[in-house]
A and B are shown apart, each in its own frame.
Chain A
Amino acid sequence: MRRGFAVFGMAVLLAFAVIAAAPIVVLVTGSLMGDVEIREYLSPVLTGAKGYASWRLFPEYPTLKNAVELLLDSPEFFLMFWNTMKIAAGILLGQLVLALPAAWGLSRGNFPGKRFVYGLYILLMVMPFQVMMLSQYLVLKGMGLDNTLWAVILPGSFSTFSVFLMYRFFTEIPEEVLEAARIDGAGEWKIFLFIGVPLGRTGVTAALLLQFLEAYGMVEQPLAFLKEKSLFPLSLYLPEISLEEAGFAFCASLAALLPVLFLFLAGSKELGEGIASSAWKE
């Protein structure tokens, strides 16, 4: 009986896994299909023809045309990729400089109004971008930073989600360890850099990974603060590809997926712990 439930449970999970993996499968096979074949399968979606869209697990006529076009005939893809990387790297660097000390200060510091400041961070974290958009735009314009990558990097550097996540990990560090360091003569900066950061490394890594993923897929901020197409990140490139080039769009999407996939696999352990921590500690 128990075995039967287990098999059923596995089957349900497998079904969900297949559904979850379907977009990736479509991306991979679509990347290897020609435009004619894709149009044949997706004509109800692309052109509004009657019937239902269909798909094949393996292309009937596999082609690398889309990959060649992407790699050798689409310099704008790479330009936007590097724009994305600049934004993500800038934000992560900003987070290391700003969020990391902020999280340490809030978790280990002892100052008046600490609870209020923490509450303020929580409030800012849950606030949607649309609420802050106008005020951010006015400030950035006032500083002469609109239509520059800094317009996306700076607000991202002050993101409060990472502070919240790192705060959780820093609070887990036993007070005795810090006391021992103090007795041994370590100052507060030393304790932060050589005790706090290494012990909270999992949280810091998870926070930075999540922030990278957030920055990589950022759409609203670049759309609101950037005007020149040469500054657009990759997230704004894919919507510009016409439906007639669906195969190329699949290939570009797959290429855009690869960096974050590698990064996710590299930091999946830290990411899992970080997400779990933010969930059950709350």
Chain B
Amino acid sequence: MNRFFAKGFVILLIIFAFFTVASRAADSFLVAQVTVEQPSAKKIEHIVTTEGTVEKNLEIPITAEAGLLVGTVYVKEGEQVEEGSVLAQLDLEWLKEETSLLEDEIKTLRMQNEAIAHNEELAGEERQKQLARAKEDYEAAAAKSSEATERAASELSQAKEAIDRFEAGEEKNAMSASEQEEKRTQLWQDYFAKQQAYEDALSGGEESIREAQRALEDAGEEAQEDASREINELAIAQKEKQLLAYEELTQAGGMITAGQAGTVTGVFVETGQLTAETAAFTISSREGGVRLGAVIAETDAAYVERGDTVSVEKNGKTYENFSVTGISSREDGSLLLTVSAGEYTDALQIGDTVTLRVTKQSELYRTAIPLGAIHTEQNETYVYVAEERDTALGTQLFARKVKVNVLEKNDTWAALEEGALSEDDWVITDTDSYVQAGERVRLRES
């Protein structure tokens, strides 16, 4: 026995023993430690949180007649006013002048209307006269035409009779043949001339009658409609209304007053300036209460709808049961949310910044897993499932890749389409190092 190699063999065994331990230790160190969880039935809860502002709910405009000079403005924005409080006073001299001008305008319009009425009457009489004349002309033309036609017809008849007499009479026999022929030709020429005259009389009569009839029709046409009077009437009514308002303002001493108690939210008139067509003041009515306005991102749009319940947090205190009353789109894709303040009107002041939280639960999904388990790569969504396999080192866990289809998710959970995973699968939800399909993993030591 060669002692050298025998020793070598023993040393080799010792080295192998050392690396048996070392490789085990390295293996334990290198194998990814994972946290696993089994899929469970769950409703996915979406919580949309955003900052909002308390706003006035109802704003009333206070208007004054346009074009009046403002004498004094008594209030400014944010001022509390009571019903009937004077907001501004108009210049009374200006008002008086404007009233006078208005009265003159009304008078002018009325006079214009009277003139229009007189002219219309005269035009009516003239039209009647022309109609009577046209009627006369028509009747005369008809009589004249009839007379000329009858005369031409009589002459034509006489020419025919002359021909008949010649052909049947003795005069004919006393003539030579050539004389007969000459006489016959003469008679017939006369007949044709009479016939032509008759036809001309007929057509001439018809033409005269037609022209007379047209004249009659023209005379019978109604005069063109003229709406000037009606327009003037409307203008008069409007100006009378304005005049009434001026008179009321004059009676009130030119004062513009608040229709309701509330906060002045807008002053749009200035001393020395004329009033405009738009509101002179806006007042936020106390009776209208407050509402909440907030903006939510486009990505959260699917999770908020009208009628959803909202909780509001202000200064660490939470108020429940608010309700989404309106949603409108903004240009940048985000949504403007309006939330009714409901019973908490007194607890919220206009201008307060609050935190709004809309919570929405999905339907019950049979397969839901923590969102951390979901991996996405090249449009492929998958999870790793830890499955036991019999190996040389005993039963060990290996990562198996399973393609899944995410139906819905929130920040922590994802609902999956059924079929890909069973409730017995251990889905890897967290790992301390990169895991690939087929790699060995071990459960995280707690």
The chain A residues found within 8 Å of chain B, CB to CB, are 71-82, 85, 205, 228-230, 232, 237, 258-259, 262-263, 265-270
Contacts and interface: CB of A to CB of B under 8 A. Distances in A.
B200 interface: no
Contact of B1 (A78, A205, A232, A259): A205
Contacts of A77: 23
A74 B4 CA distance: 29
B20 A79 contact: yes
B24 interface: yes
B19 interface: yes
Contact of A267 (B2, B8, B24): B2
B391 A74 contact: no
Nearest to A236: B392
Contacts of B23: 71-75, 77-78
Contacts of A76: 391-393
A229 B388 CA distance: 14
Which size bracket describes the interface of B in this complex?
Answer: 20 to 34
A263 B12 CA distance: 11
Contact of B16 (A78, A232, A266, A267): A78
A263 B8 CA distance: 9
Given A73-B27, A229-B392, 13 more contacts: A74-B23, A76-B392, A82-B20, A205-B1, A229-B390, A259-B12, A262-B5, A262-B9, A265-B5, A266-B3, A266-B5, A267-B2, A270-B1
A45 to B, nearest CB: 24
Given A259-B12, A266-B9, A229 B20 contact: no
Interface of A is mostly: helix
Contacts of B8: 262, 265-266
A267 B1 contact: yes
B12 A79 contact: no
B66 interface: no
B169 interface: no
A262 B4 CA distance: 9
Contacts of B2: 265-269
Contacts of A79: 20, 392-393
B394 A73 contact: no
29 contacts: A71-B19, A71-B23, A73-B27, A73-B30, A75-B20, A75-B23, A75-B27, A75-B393, A76-B391, A76-B393, A78-B16, A79-B392, A81-B16, A81-B20, A228-B390, A229-B391, A230-B392, A230-B394, A232-B392, A259-B16, A262-B5, A262-B6, A262-B12, A263-B9, A265-B5, A266-B1, A266-B2, A266-B5, A267-B6
Contacts of A205: 1
Nearest to B392: A76
A265 B22 CA distance: 28
B24 to A, nearest CB: 5
B446 to A, nearest CB: 24
B13 interface: yes
B168 interface: no
The 4 closest A-B pairs by CB, nearest first: A266-B5, A76-B392, A78-B20, A262-B9
B26 interface: yes
Interface in B385-437: 390-394
A73 B26 contact: yes
Name the residue among B9, B13, B20, B27 with the largest chain A CB count within 10 angstroms: B9
A16 to B, nearest CB: 25
Name the residue among A74, A76, A78 with the largest chain B CB count within 10 angstroms: A78
A123 to B, nearest CB: 32
Contacts of A265: 2, 5, 8
Contacts of B3: 266
Contacts of A229: 390-392
Nearest to A263: B9
A263 B5 CA distance: 7
Contacts of A230: 391-394
Contacts of A75: 20, 23-24, 27, 393
Nearest to A72: B26
A237 B392 contact: yes
Contacts of A85: 13
Interface in B180-222: none
Contacts of A232: 392
Nearest to B19: A71
A253 B243 CA distance: 115
Interface string B1-45: 111111011001100100110111011001000000000000000
B9 to A, nearest CB: 4
A71 B22 contact: yes
Contacts of B5: 262-263, 265-266
Nearest to A262: B9
Contacts of B27: 73, 75
A232 B30 CA distance: 24
Contacts of A267: 1-2, 6
A269 B2 CA distance: 8
Contacts of A263: 5, 9
Interface in B271-301: none
Contacts of B16: 78, 81-82, 259
B353 to A, nearest CB: 58
Name the residue among A85, A230, A268, A269 with the largest chain B CB count within 10 angstroms: A230
Contacts of B4: 266
B396 to A, nearest CB: 10
B22 to A, nearest CB: 6
Contacts of B19: 71-72, 78
Nearest to A259: B12
A259 B9 contact: yes
A173 to B, nearest CB: 20
A72 B390 CA distance: 21
Nearest to A202: B1
Nearest to B391: A229
